[in-house]
């Protein structure tokens, strides 16, 4: 919810609002930053407590085919492209991962 005209104008000038003035991109960016902070905090606490870290998240991603009706219906081809791109960015081989979750048709 945007309560101030000044903040709305600032966000629009920085191209953070969509044409309908929703803030999907900004919200997604904030969620990613919050997750990074949470993961960093948990890793620090694990080290302090000498716990075993069993999983490390090396990356995450999302996509949206602009021609699909909704965000939750990406094509199988775009899911494959996204997964391959993020594996390359994380410098992982497919054999290094036991579990991948993808949604769509």
Question: Does the pLDDT of residue 82 top 80, yes or no?
Answer: yes
With bands split at pLDDT 50, 70 and 90, how would you rate the model's confidence at 105? Answer: low
Task: Report pLDDT digits (tens) over 34-79.
Answer: 666 677 776 777 777 776 766 667 667 766 655 665 555 667 787 8
Sequence-ordered list of residues with C-beta below 8 angstroms from that of 64, at least 6 positions apart, any chain: 71, 74
Which residue in this structure is represented by tokens 């494959």? 80
Contact assessment for residue 60 and residue 89, using Cβ atoms and an 8 Å cutoff: no
Residue 48 vs residues 7, 17, 51: alpha-carbon distances, Å? 40, 41, 8
| Model pTM score | 0.43
The runs of H, that is alpha helices, within 1-105 are 5-13, 24-49, 76-89
Q: Determine the distance from the C-alpha atom of residue 70 to the mean position of all C-alpha atoms in its chain, rounded to a whole number.
A: 17
Task: Report pLDDT digits (tens) over 22-35.
Answer: 555 556 666 666 66
């Amino acid at each position: 919810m945007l309560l101030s005209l000044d903040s709305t104008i600032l966000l629009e000038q920085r191209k953070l609002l969509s044409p309908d003035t929703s803030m999907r991109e900004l919200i997604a960016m904030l969620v990613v930053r919050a997750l990074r902070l949470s993961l960093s905090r948990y890793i620090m606490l694990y080290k302090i407590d000498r716990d075993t870290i069993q999983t490390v998240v090396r990356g995450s991603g999302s996509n949206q085919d602009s021609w699909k009706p909704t965000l939750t219906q990406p094509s199988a081809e775009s899911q494959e492209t996204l997964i391959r791109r993020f594996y390359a960015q994380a410098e992982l081989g497919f054999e290094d991962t036991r579990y991948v979750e993808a949604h769509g048709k």
